[in-house]
Structure formats: structure tokens, C-alpha cells
């Protein structure tokens, strides 16, 4: 895929220290976007009105690297007492299959978290080079998650056929990466406009894109729930979609499972977010969840919101 080059970024985060301009004054104060951006989160999850358990799981993490001055002979202000850069990640997963769907989403999400801990470089300062590293590593991690879920379903008959959706958003500074398999969605709300960042990987979506009609043998099925791609026991390699966007101050990113989007239209979601600009996010998540419940709540519902403050 063609990844847009991050706007206004250097190709590398190194510099020529031999330059006459590289004096002490040129380094101070040093505050990259990854040290200046803050993020507020909100989340609600509910099993729905027709379920007693939930196949949804979510995770929100803060990643960082820091430097703390313990002792120094330098004058005050020459180096900071503490310097910290942060990245933020959020993930939703929705388990599928006749057996073990809750285990599929739990195992998929936990595997991804462990892979990040073991092999992630925590690229919180995004350049053109590190952007490509993030994309390549994300694809590798997702394929490993798929293999892990598949192996578990083959080794345990009680889990045969299980799979999971997995939609993740990672931000470093004002760069956002969205990684997606399945039909759990990601949206961006900016200036009153709600934009969907992911494409449902379902038979309904594929037929709509090709202009074909549904096969007769599937006429009785809800094709919005027939996945063409998932992680786990699934035919062929999943289509892992990865996109890179530049964030702006006040942007809100929404991740959710289809328990919300099956019954609440995009325009209604936009209205809820627009009516509460600048307000705490947990109540907005609850409002969206309540709307899904009022409309029957047939499936598990998970709603995660993140608001970005970018000086």
C-alpha cells in the first residue's frame, strides 16, 4: 500500500552534530509532538439485551520512554529534571464462530499486547522511516495473532472454528495508525464531520462494492455478519488494512464493535459527539451504548473514544 508521508516530518531523527549551528542553545527547549500531545479516553462495554456473556474485549494502553535527571553539575534548566514522550494505543476485538468466540477475542487481544511488549519498538516519535516500521510490524503482529488463534482452535475441539475481529488505533504525536481486520469499526470525528476509517470486511460489503447479488443459498443470512476476513480459523490469509492519518487538535477517534453500528446510524453517532464537544468521554460512550440498547441491543456493544489535544 502507499503510505502517505507524514506532513512536516524529517526523514530521520538524527542530525549532524558537527554543524556550527548545533550549539547548546539550539537544543533547548526540546519538546517534540510526542512529548506535547495528550489524550483523554472513555469506554463502555455491555453484553447487550439478548446475551448473558460478551464476546467483546478492549484494551487501552499508554506507551512511553523517559529520561530523569538524578544528579548533575549543570546549571538549573540546562537539562530537564524529567523528559517523557508518549504513544497511545486502543484495540477492540469481537469473537466469532460456533465455539469459543469469547476466547478468540480474548486470546487475540492478549497475544497482540504480548507481541508489542516483546517486539515493539514503541516508536512514539514518528518519522517517514519509523512510520514504515510501524506499518510492517503491525502486519507481522496481526499475522502472528491469526496463527495463535488458529492453533488454539485446532488443538482444542471445544474451540474449533473460532476467530476474531481486531481493530487497533495507535498514535505517536499527531500521527495516527489504524490497523483493521473484520467488521469492528474505527471513525474520526472532526469539526462536526464523522468519517469512517475502516471498511467492513463482510460479504454484504463485498457484494455492494461489486454490484453483485447474494447467492441463493445465503438469502436467509444477515450478510453483514458473514465475514470475508478474520483472525483465526478462516480460509486464506486475512486482508490486513493499515492506514496512516495526521491528527488535529480536538480530533476524536471512535473504535466500536458492530453491536453499536448494526443499530445506530453514522449520522446519529455524529450527532451525539457533536452535542458534547469538549465534554467528558465516558458519558458519550454511555449515550451511544444506551441508543444501541434502546434499539434492541441484539449484540455485544463496546465503545471506545479518544480525544486528542495537540498544542
Average pLDDT over residues 262-269: 97
Lowest mean pLDDT among 193-197, 224-228, 275-279, 306-310: 224-228
CA nearest to 204, candidates 186, 177, 224, 218: 224
pLDDT at 28: 54
Q: How confident is the model at residue 181 (pLDDT cuts 50, 70, 90)?
A: very high
Handedness of CA 7, 276, 302, 116 (dihedral sign): positive
Give me 265's grid cell: 446510524
pLDDT at 255: 98
Secondary structure of residue 71 in the 3-state scheme: coil
Secondary structure of residue 296 in the 3-state scheme: coil
Statement: residue 112 has pLDDT above 90:
yes
283 DSSP 8-state letter: H
Q: What torsion, rounded to 10 degrees, do the Cα atoms 215, 218, 220, 223 define?
A: -100
pLDDT, tens digit, for every residue of 65-83? 999 999 999 988 888 899 9
pLDDT, tens digit, for every residue of 204-230? 777 776 666 555 544 444 566 788 899
The superfamily CATH assigns to domain 37-62+85-199+229-309 is: PPM-type phosphatase domain (3.60.40.10)
Model pTM score: 0.88
Q: Check whether the bond before 263 is cis (ω within 30° of 0).
A: no
Q: How confident is the model at residue 240 (pLDDT cuts 50, 70, 90)?
A: very high
Domain spans of the chain, in order of start: 37-62+85-199+229-309
Percent composition of the chain: helix, strand, coil (DSSP 3-state, to 5): 30, 30, 40
Taking the C-alpha atoms of residue 127 and residue 8, their distance in angstroms, rounded to an integer, is 9
Amino acid at each position: 500500500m502507499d503510505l502517505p508521508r507524514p506532513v512536516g516530518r524529517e526523514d530521520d531523527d538524527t542530525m549532524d552534530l558537527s554543524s556550527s549551528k548545533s550549539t547548546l542553545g539550539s537544543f533547548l527547549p526540546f519538546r517534540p509532538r510526542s512529548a506535547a500531545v495528550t489524550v483523554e479516553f472513555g469506554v463502555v462495554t455491555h453484553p447487550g439485551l439478548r446475551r448473558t456473556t460478551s464476546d467483546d474485549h478492549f484494551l487501552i494502553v499508554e506507551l512511553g520512554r523517559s529520561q530523569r535527571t538524578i544528579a548533575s553539575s549543570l546549571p538549573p534548566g540546562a537539562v530537564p529534571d524529567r523528559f517523557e514522550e508518549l504513544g497511545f494505543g486502543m484495540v477492540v476485538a469481537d469473537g466469532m464462530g460456533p465455539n469459543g468466540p469469547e476466547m478468540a477475542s480474548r486470546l487475540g487481544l492478549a497475544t497482540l499486547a504480548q507481541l508489542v511488549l516483546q517486539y515493539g519498538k514503541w516508536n512514539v516519535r514518528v518519522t517517514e522511516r519509523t512510520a514504515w516500521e510501524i506499518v510492517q510490524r503491525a502486519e507481522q503482529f496481526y499475522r502472528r495473532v491469526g496463527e495463535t488463534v488458529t492453533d488454539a482452535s485446532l488443538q482444542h475441539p471445544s474451540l474449533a472454528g473460532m476467530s476474531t475481529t481486531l481493530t487497533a488505533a495507535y498514535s505517536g504525536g499527531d500521527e495516527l495508525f489504524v490497523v483493521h481486520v473484520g467488521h469492528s469499526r474505527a471513525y474520526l470525528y472532526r469539526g462536526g464531520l464523522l468519517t469512517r476509517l475502516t471498511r467492513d470486511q463482510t460479504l454484504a460489503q463485498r457484494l455492494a462494492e461489486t454490484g453483485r447479488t447474494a447467492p441463493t443459498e445465503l438469502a436467509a443470512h444477515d450478510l453483514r455478519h458473514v465475514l470475508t476476513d478474520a483472525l483465526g480459523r478462516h480460509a486464506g490469509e486475512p486482508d490486513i488494512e493499515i492506514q496512516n492519518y495526521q491528527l488535529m487538535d480536538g480530533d476524536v477517534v471512535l473504535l466500536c464493535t458492530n453491536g453499536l453500528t448494526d443499530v445506530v446510524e453514522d449520522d446519529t453517532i455524529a450527532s451525539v459527539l457533536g452535542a458534547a464537544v469538549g465534554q467528558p468521554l465516558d458519558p458519550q460512550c454511555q449515550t451511544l451504548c444506551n441508543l444501541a440498547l434502546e434499539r434492541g441491543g441484539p449484540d455485544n456493544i463496546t465503545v471506545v473514544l479518544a480525544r486528542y489535544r495537540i498544542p
